[in-house]
């Protein structure tokens, strides 16, 4: 997948600066889930894929300074409101579903490594 957003500087909790791209975040998410980038980004409404895609979008928002519009475009040209919806949905699910909350926490730690 092409690099759309220039490397963004983000400060992680360890107070070190990293250059992180959307492609790097996507690769880590795909490695964690054991799927291809196409599997996550391709337009499909199956719950499993949607959750993976929403979590990957959320990771892109957390670990880059790219705009919501850039993140949406990176995910097969989706709108910035789709990214907002993904973040809201994952936040809500983490509050109500311990399994998803645990999976999201493990993904976050995996991406951060």
* pLDDT mean across residues, the chain: 86
The Cα-based distances of 9 to 16, 35, 37, 104 in angstroms read 10, 27, 23, 23
Would you say 56 and 76 are in contact if contact means Cβ atoms under 8 Å apart?
A: no
* Mean pLDDT, residues 4-16: 47
If pLDDT is split at 50, 70 and 90, which confidence band does 67 have?
very high
pLDDT of residue 60: 94
What tokens does 47 get? 């719950």
pLDDT of residue 113: 81
pTM of the model: 0.81
If pLDDT is split at 50, 70 and 90, which confidence band does 47 have?
very high
């Amino acid at each position: 997948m092409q690099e759309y957003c220039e490397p963004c500087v983000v400060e992680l909790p360890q107070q070190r600066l990293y250059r992180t791209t959307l492609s790097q975040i996507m690769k880590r998410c795909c490695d964690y889930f054991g799927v291809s980038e196409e599997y996550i980004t391709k337009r499909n409404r199956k719950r499993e894929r949607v959750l993976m895609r929403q979590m990957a979008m959320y990771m892109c928002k957390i670990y880059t300074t790219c705009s919501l519009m850039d993140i949406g475009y990176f995910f097969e040209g989706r709108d910035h409101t789709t990214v907002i919806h993904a973040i809201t949905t994952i936040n809500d699910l983490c509050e109500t579903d311990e399994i998803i909350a645990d999976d999201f926490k493990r993904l976050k730690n995996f991406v951060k490594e």
